[in-house]
């Protein structure tokens, strides 16, 4: 990690440490610290979806209402990430991360103390989503700022794949604490985790790189990104990916709980939250491996294959709830692999293809559209479940809607031009 002397008061980083002569071990150490902050910052992400059957039972929530509360987390993220991510080109990203962690702590503590039903849960999950908006993409901006060069894609994949660790631990810890002490303590524990993220940010995260010279109005930066077709190809494909991924993360515990009800007594030996932990954790090696395959065989080709395979599996899995539980579990874990295998590749592609000097704004557009889809996906699945009555066919149709979003990804990748990386960057994201 860089010493404070390497960072100017304006947050600009001395260029000698950032390009070809950068020590790879230093870059790796910094990336791992930011991954750890990200993991702790995600402590509250999975609490509501992991305990969704409990909230439906205690508060009498319909599937649509449960979908709205799940979606509120991503709505909060989507509402603030355009600002919080884009301003990291002008304001130290470390400060934005600290603000996000504080919002996350407040949201988790308030939910533990005050949540009583649909509206209170919706508002407080919205606040928690704002906290994630302050941590996730600004953290990625710091990683990409301090890891220029041919290995940048790999470090970016480490960071984005660590999202799976944070999400999976959130599911596991929430389920275990709820079983012992109840859901309010599960939310309180998530606040402690986010406080650990804040400590790492304050004491160990270096400043992000700022623009070297003052630019015009912020909206002009967004306009430039929107006009960069190679970057937007990845951004829009990422939106399709996020529709599927966060629909899956929002509803997987409820689906497994439904499957348990269809099994013979004693057949389900693992709780749905423990299986959800595995399905999320498997995303870590899947995402990193997907990016490594992209570097070797072509980003667009690999992402297209993964998205089509994932959509095919998603269209099937919802109809399998009545199969033996170990088969349902196996399919869920396999789907957890395919649904995340394109994640790091898409984000690395957007970083590499974005216009020079506007990395923070590129990530803002990337994340806004992505989490906009993440907001709509869980809600759409909940509506479909209510429409079809919440039984086996309903879950099959719900997962089919979930999977359909990612089929748009290949369409965007191939329709927005033949180039998938900015020529000026010489990146590894070639076709």
Q: What is the pLDDT of residues 278-335, one digit of tens each?
A: 999 998 899 889 988 998 999 899 999 999 999 999 999 999 999 999 999 999 999 9
Whether residue 136 contacts residue 41, with contact meaning beta carbons closer than 8 Å, is answered with yes
Q: How far is CA 79 from CA 368, 375, 413, 420, in A?
A: 8, 11, 26, 28
> Quick one: pLDDT at residue 250?
93
Q: What is the pLDDT of residues 52-94, one digit of tens each?
A: 999 999 999 999 999 999 999 989 988 888 888 778 777 888 8
Q: What is the pLDDT of residues 248-280, one digit of tens each?
A: 999 999 999 999 999 988 877 788 999 999 999
> Quick one: pLDDT at residue 144?
81
Question: Is the predicted pLDDT of residue 177 greater than 50, yes or no?
Answer: yes
**Which residues, 6+ apart, have CB-to-CB distance to 130 below 8 Å?**
76, 77, 79, 80, 100, 103, 107
Which of the two residues, 209 and 224, has the higher pLDDT score? Answer: 224
Task: For residue 16, name the pLDDT band (cuts at 50, 70, 90).
Answer: very low
DSSP state letter for 210: P
> Quick one: pLDDT at residue 5?
36
Q: How far is CA 374 from CA 2, 212, 217, 245, 411, in A?
A: 35, 34, 29, 8, 19
Question: Is the predicted pLDDT of residue 169 greater than 90, yes or no?
Answer: yes
Task: For residue 140, name the pLDDT band (cuts at 50, 70, 90).
Answer: confident
pTM over 0.95: no
CA dihedral sign, ordered 356, 359, 364, 369? positive
H helix or E strand, kind and range, residue 372: helix 359-387
> Quick one: pLDDT at residue 187?
97
CA dihedral sign, ordered 108, 112, 113, 119? positive
Q: How far is CA 308 from CA 253, 313, 372, in A?
A: 24, 9, 21
Mean pLDDT (whole number) for 140-161:
79
Q: How far is CA 346 from CA 96, 233, 365, 408, in A?
A: 24, 9, 13, 13
> Quick one: pLDDT at residue 93?
86
Tracing tokens 């065989």 back to the chain, one arrives at 297
- Alpha-carbon gap, residue 12 to 29, rounded angstroms: 20
**Which residues, 6+ apart, have CB-to-CB distance to 27 below 8 Å?**
146, 147, 151, 155
Which of the two residues, 389 and 195, has the higher pLDDT score? Answer: 195
Q: Which of 151-155, 328-332, 381-385, 402-406 has the lowest mean pLDDT?
A: 151-155
Which of the two residues, 149 and 45, has the higher pLDDT score? Answer: 45
Q: What is the pLDDT of residues 343-356, one digit of tens each?
A: 889 988 888 888 87
Percent of residues, the chain, with pLDDT higher than 90? 57
H runs (alpha helix) in 182-324: 183-204, 218-226, 229-261, 272-281, 283-297, 299-317
Q: How far is CA 130 from CA 82, 98, 366, 371, in A?
A: 11, 12, 16, 12
Phi/psi for 7 (5° steps) reads -120, 125
Number of H helices, E strands in the chain: 18, 0
Whether residue 10 contacts residue 95, with contact meaning beta carbons closer than 8 Å, is answered with no
> Quick one: pLDDT at residue 326?
93
Task: For residue 149, name the pLDDT band (cuts at 50, 70, 90).
Answer: low
> Quick one: pLDDT at residue 147?
76
Question: Is the predicted pLDDT of residue 419 greater than 60, yes or no?
Answer: no
Percent of residues, the chain, with pLDDT higher than 70? 88
Q: How far is CA 372 from CA 189, 369, 395, 429, in A?
A: 28, 5, 23, 25
Tracing tokens 């667009």 back to the chain, one arrives at 300
Question: Is the predicted pLDDT of residue 6 greater than 90, yes or no?
Answer: no
Which of the two residues, 263 and 157, has the higher pLDDT score? Answer: 263
Nearest to 132 by CA among 248, 42, 250: 42
């Amino acid at each position: 990690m860089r010493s404070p002397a390497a960072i100017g008061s304006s947050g600009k980083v001395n260029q000698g440490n950032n390009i070809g002569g950068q020590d790879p071990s230093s870059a790796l150490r910094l990336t791992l610290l930011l991954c750890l902050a990200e993991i702790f910052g995600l402590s509250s992400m999975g609490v509501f979806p992991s305990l969704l059957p409990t909230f439906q039972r205690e508060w009498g929530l319909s599937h649509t209402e449960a979908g709205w509360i799940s979606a509120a987390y991503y709505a909060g993220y989507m509402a603030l990430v355009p600002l919080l991510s884009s301003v990291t080109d002008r304001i130290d990203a470390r400060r934005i991360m600290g603000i996000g962690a504080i919002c996350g702590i407040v949201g988790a503590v308030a939910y533990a103390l005050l949540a009583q039903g649909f509206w209170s849960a919706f508002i407080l999950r919205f606040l928690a989503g704002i906290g994630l908006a302050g941590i996730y993409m600004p953290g990625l901006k710091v990683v990409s700022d301090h890891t220029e060069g041919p290995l940048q894609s790999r470090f970016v994949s480490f960071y984005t794949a660590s999202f799976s660790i944070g999400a999976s631990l959130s599911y596991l810890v929430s389920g275990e604490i709820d079983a012992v002490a109840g859901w309010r303590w599960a939310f309180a524990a998530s606040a402690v985790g986010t406080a650990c993220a804040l400590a790492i940010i304050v004491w160990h995260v270096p400043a992000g790189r700022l623009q070297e010279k003052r630019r015009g109005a912020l909206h002009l930066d967004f306009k430039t990104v929107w006009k960069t077709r190679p970057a937007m190809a990845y951004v829009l494909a990422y939106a399709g990916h996020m529709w599927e991924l966060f629909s899956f993360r929002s509803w997987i515990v409820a689906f497994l709980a439904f499957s348990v009800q269809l099994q013979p007594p004693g057949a389900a030996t693992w709780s749905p939250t423990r299986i959800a932990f595995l399905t999320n954790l498997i995303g870590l090696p899947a995402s990193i491996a997907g990016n490594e395959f992209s570097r070797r065989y072509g980003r667009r080709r690999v992402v297209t294959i993964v998205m089509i395979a994932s959509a095919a599996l998603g269209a099937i899995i919802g109809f399998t709830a009545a199969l033996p539980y170990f088969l349902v579990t196996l399919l869920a874990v396999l789907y957890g692999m395919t649904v995340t295998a394109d994640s790091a590749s898409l984000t690395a592609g957007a970083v590499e293809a974005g216009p020079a000097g506007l990395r923070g704004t590129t990530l803002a557009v990337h994340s806004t559209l992505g989490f906009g889809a993440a907001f709509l996906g869980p809600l759409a699945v909940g509506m479909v479940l209510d429409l079809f009555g919440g039984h086996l066919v309903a879950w099959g149709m719900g997962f089919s809607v979930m999977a359909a979003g990612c089929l748009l990804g290949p369409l965007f990748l191939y329709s927005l031009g033949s180039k998938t990386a900015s020529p000026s960057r010489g990146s590894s994201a070639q076709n």
